[in-house]
């Protein structure tokens, strides 16, 4: 089970906080569907979802889920997740000390007159040019959600042809398990 769903960043809904949940699951067919159904039944939209097999123990996979909504409903969702047979644990890391990042690929129209400015923006954000064509560029950038949002907004005037974002991944700081 190795999946990364694209995300365009959390929608800006006033008053509803963004939550990031780490879920450790058994690496079995159908687990992703059962986990996402728990959110759907409570009316929660998953804004980003990253799933990958645990390389230290292939029996498990880790899901990082980003969603927006009230804390009370989220607590109920986490309780329901932990009751699923293939879920080992589910933790809301909102407000906790974590290391988090996401990655984006942006393809831009880039004629010769715009390349210098685009490359200056890329350098400022430590983005790397991963494809350099005669009429386009593909840039790869990583960092926190706000950094990627800012980077992408600066690129919009140049004509973003295609954009893919990984969704947020995180790890708890210190000795605690994520």
Task: Quote the pLDDT of residue 43.
Answer: 87
Per-residue confidence (pLDDT) for residue 71, from 0 to 100: 87
- May I ask the CATH architecture of the domain 3-95? 2-Layer Sandwich (3.30)
Query: Cα separation of 79 and 110, whole Å?
Result: 49
Q: Determine the pLDDT at residue 3.
A: 42
Residues of the chain with CATH 3.30.70.260: 3-95
CA 36 to chain centre: 15
Tell me what pLDDT residue 177 has. 82
Mean pLDDT by 10 residues, the chain (178 residues): 40 70 95 95 91 88 93 92 95 91 95 91 97 93 95 95 94 88
Which regions of the chain carry the CATH code 3.30.70.1150?
99-170
pLDDT given for residue 2 in this prediction: 41
Q: Which pLDDT score, from 0 to 100, does residue 1 have?
A: 43
CA-based nearest residue to 103, from 152, 31, 55, 39: 152
C-alpha span between 141 and 152 (Å, rounded): 10
pLDDT of residue 112: 83
Helix (H, G, I), strand (E, B) or coil at 147: helix
CATH architecture of 99-170: 2-Layer Sandwich (3.30)
CA 72 to chain centre: 23
């Amino acid at each position: 089970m190795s999946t990364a769903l694209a995300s365009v960043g959390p929608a800006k809904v006033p008053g509803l906080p963004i939550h990031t949940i780490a879920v450790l699951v058994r690496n079995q067919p159908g687990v992703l569907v059962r986990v996402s159904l728990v959110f759907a039944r409570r009316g929660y939209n998953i804004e980003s979802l990253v799933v990958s097999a645990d390389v230290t123990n292939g029996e498990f996979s880790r899901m990082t889920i980003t969603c927006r909504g009230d804390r009370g409903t989220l607590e109920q969702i986490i309780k329901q997740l932990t009751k699923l047979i293939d879920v080992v644990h589910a933790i809301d890391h909102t407000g906790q000390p974590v290391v988090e990042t996401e990655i984006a690929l942006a393809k831009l129209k880039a004629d010769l007159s715009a390349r210098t400015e685009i490359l200056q923006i890329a350098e400022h954000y430590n983005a790397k040019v991963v494809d350099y064509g005669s009429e386009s560029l593909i840039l790869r950038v990583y960092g926190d959600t706000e950094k990627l949002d800012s980077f992408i907004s600066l690129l919009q005037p140049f004509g973003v042809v295609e954009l893919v974002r990984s969704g947020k991944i995180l790890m708890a700081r210190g000795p605690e398990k994520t």
